[in-house]
Structure 1
Amino acid sequence: MADVQPTTYIPEPEFGTSGSTPRKKTISNPYLHRLQRRHFLLFDVLPIVGTAAAFAFLAVHPIGVTELALLFSMWLVTGLGVTVGYHRLFTHRTFKAAPSVAAALTILGSMAGQGGLMSWVALHRRHHECSDREGDPHSPNLAGSGLKGRLRGLAHSHFLWMRRHEYPNIVHYAPDLIKNRALVRVARLYYYWVALGLVLPALIGGLVYQSWTGAVSGFFWGGLVRIFVLEHVIWAINSFLHTFGTHPYESRENSRNGGIFALLTFGESWHNNHHAFPESSSFGLDWYRLDPGYWLIKLLAFCGLAWDLKRPSEERMKATRIPRNGKPAPSTTA
């Protein structure tokens, strides 16, 4: 496996084709803000309402093995689509994959309802560029000090930032993805893939129970409840793991590890490890640290569908590790 270098992705120079006009890193206008509010209502607020409705619907159709299986399986495949596809493959290019695998991961990640591929990648690359500093779209550490500032920061980073924010220019932050025409063709069907992720469990529920109530129950538990659960799991990485947890490796921001949540987050909760070595395909770094996302990558590699898996060398990890009696973790204030 290749050793991780400090940086594997560098945005293109901040100039237009003329070579003299600076390219804007972010875009902010009323049209984009309307799109952001629409997406926020459809895919962030509606799953909350849908989850409440799912519990109310239990009076009509009690939950059974089918609903639990749909919730778990859809959560698993869409969550892996986000961590392995959106995050490790497309954002940080921690490994290479066959075109069919890239397309499948794009579809599964899109079903999670967390944004189209290009937008997600651009936002996350900007997060790493400006992490816990001005320009970070979802830092919990820029809302002031004290309890009130901390709570305001957590609410912003976990949920509220998605209502309205500066939109990272994908021409600047994701030119590599834009040039991949096959990938763009799949990614531009984002809303269809989200719809598929809702319709599929509804069809399965209807077929299993042979009733409209089974279809509605499948739609709720395999669709909206699954989106709700996965969203808050992923959002907790942005909020709580930039505030609480351990900080074993040097990094310029306040990222933290929360190993107790490793399985629930598909390995994403090794967040300080990730920020210290963002180009590593393994977030756990050590075999005994649970990292389901990396397990899938290893399985794909075993099948010949993934290659060039990157990991930091033992020397780099040792040089970057903070001694237990060494310097403290970075401050949580801006």
Structure 2
Amino acid sequence: MIIIIFFVAHWFLSLFFQTFYLHRYAAHKMFTTHKITERIFHTLTFISQGSSFLNPRAYAIMHREHHAYSDTEKDPHSPHFFTDVFQMMYRTAISFREHERRVKEPEARFKGNYPEWRLIDYYGSLNSTRLMFGLLYAWFYVAFATQWWMFLLLPIQFIMGPLHGAIVNWCGHKYGYSNFDNGDKSKNTTPFDFFMLGELFQNNHHKFPNSPNFGKRWFEVDPVYPVMKALHWMRIIKMRKPSIA
């Protein structure tokens, strides 16, 4: 039971900071916040993602490229140019690593206005740091696992961040329904997206890329949006005025 709680907590904490901080803040700047609060969110993203920490700068640049070239050959992770999800993940990892190491110069329009903290961004991306987190996860399983099958969850925890991205990019551009004609193949995979915290409303998001509410129809529920409204009400963040209501 402890292992299941640990896995579920890791899944949703990692996913929350990926969608809230990396996606909605770093890539789209759907809200503003104090520099101290930004550093807190940055740290929590690093801790929650652990072995699969995603550099905010690299994430923001790649995601902006994805929106600009959605489902074309220049899209860094469109599922329509790969035979399976593993090939897409591999190619995405290569592109991400290039931005992370700053060996690939992005277009000027994709640069800037994203959070950077060289200390965490550097050490969080080291293989030794990822290995340390992986060993901590493995130790926890050895200490608390009561059934052999629980260890099958461990590899998922090693690659939690990239796995979340792969699910969203693969399913969100292949399966589901469309509310809008965006000129791409984005889909809303499911009308209620609790499992991926609203990220599978890809068709809605590509139509309104800067809206903090990914749900657009009455039955489409984005679980992160109420959290953002609460943080806005508490003055921890300030959402863009046109999108608050």
TM interval, short-chain normalised: 0.7 to 0.9
| 8 Å Cα contact 1:245-1:258 kept in structure 2 | yes
Q: Could you tell me the TM-score, scaled by structure 2's length?
A: 0.77
Cα 1:301/1:107, change in 2 over 3 Å: same
Aligned residue number for residue 228 of structure 2: 297
Q: C-alpha separation between the residues in 1 aligned to 2:130 and 2:225?
A: 25
Q: Deviations over 1:163-206 (max 9, x none)?
A: 544755358323223xx66x344433323775675466567x49
Aligned residue number for residue 174 of structure 1: 111
Aligned residue number for residue 279 of structure 1: 210
Secondary structure of the residue aligned to 2:220 is coil
1:93-104 equivalence runs, <5 A: 93-104=29-40
**Root mean square deviation of aligned Cα:** 3.4
| 8 Å Cα contact 2:53-2:124 kept in structure 1 | no
Cα 1:225/1:243, change in 2 over 3 Å: closer
Aligned residue number for residue 87 of structure 1: 23
**Which residue among 99, 124, 131 is the counterpart of 2:63?**
124
Aligned residue number for residue 191 of structure 1: 125
1:1-334 equivalence runs, <5 A: 65-110=1-46, 111-112=48-49, 113=52, 115-142=54-81, 152=83, 154-157=85-88, 159-162=89-92, 164-165=94-95, 167=99, 169=105, 172=108, 173-177=110-114, 183-191=117-125, 194=130, 197-198=133-134, 205=140, 213-214=142-143, 224-228=155-159, 231-260=162-191, 262-286=193-217, 288-309=219-240
Q: Deviations over 1:80-135 (max 9, x none)?
A: 11000000001011111233432233234344315322111111111111111121
| 8 Å Cα contact 1:96-1:308 kept in structure 2 | yes
| 8 Å Cα contact 2:26-2:57 kept in structure 1 | no
Cα 1:215/1:125, change in 2 over 3 Å: same
Q: C-alpha separation between the residues in 1 aligned to 2:137 and 2:144?
A: 8
Cα 1:229/1:86, change in 2 over 3 Å: closer
Cα distance, 1:290 vs. partner?
A: 2.1
| 8 Å Cα contact 1:119-1:170 kept in structure 2 | no
Q: Could you tell me the TM-score, scaled by structure 1's length?
A: 0.58
Q: Amino acid of the residue matched to residue 214 of structure 1?
A: A
Which runs of no fewer than 5 residues in structure 2 stay unpaired?
none
Cα 1:274/1:288, change in 2 over 3 Å: same
Report the identity percentage: 20
Q: C-alpha separation between the residues in 2 aligned to 1:310 and 1:220?
A: 46
Q: Which moved more, 1:125-134 or 1:105-114?
A: 105-114
Secondary structure of the residue aligned to 1:96 is strand
Q: Amino acid of the residue matched to residue 31 of structure 2?
A: F
Cα 1:223/1:292, change in 2 over 3 Å: farther
Q: C-alpha separation between the residues in 2 aligned to 1:75 and 1:82?
A: 11
Q: C-alpha separation between the residues in 2 aligned to 1:287 and 1:230?
A: 29
Secondary structure of the residue aligned to 2:80 is coil
Cα distance, 1:253 vs. partner?
A: 1.3
Which runs of no fewer than 5 residues in structure 1 stay unpaired?
1-64, 144-151, 207-212, 315-334
Q: Deviations over 1:138-170 (max 9, x none)?
A: 112235xxxxxxxx165533x232354475535
Cα 1:104/1:287, change in 2 over 3 Å: farther
Q: Amino acid of the residue matched to residue 225 of structure 1?
A: I
Q: Amino acid of the residue matched to residue 175 of structure 1?
A: G
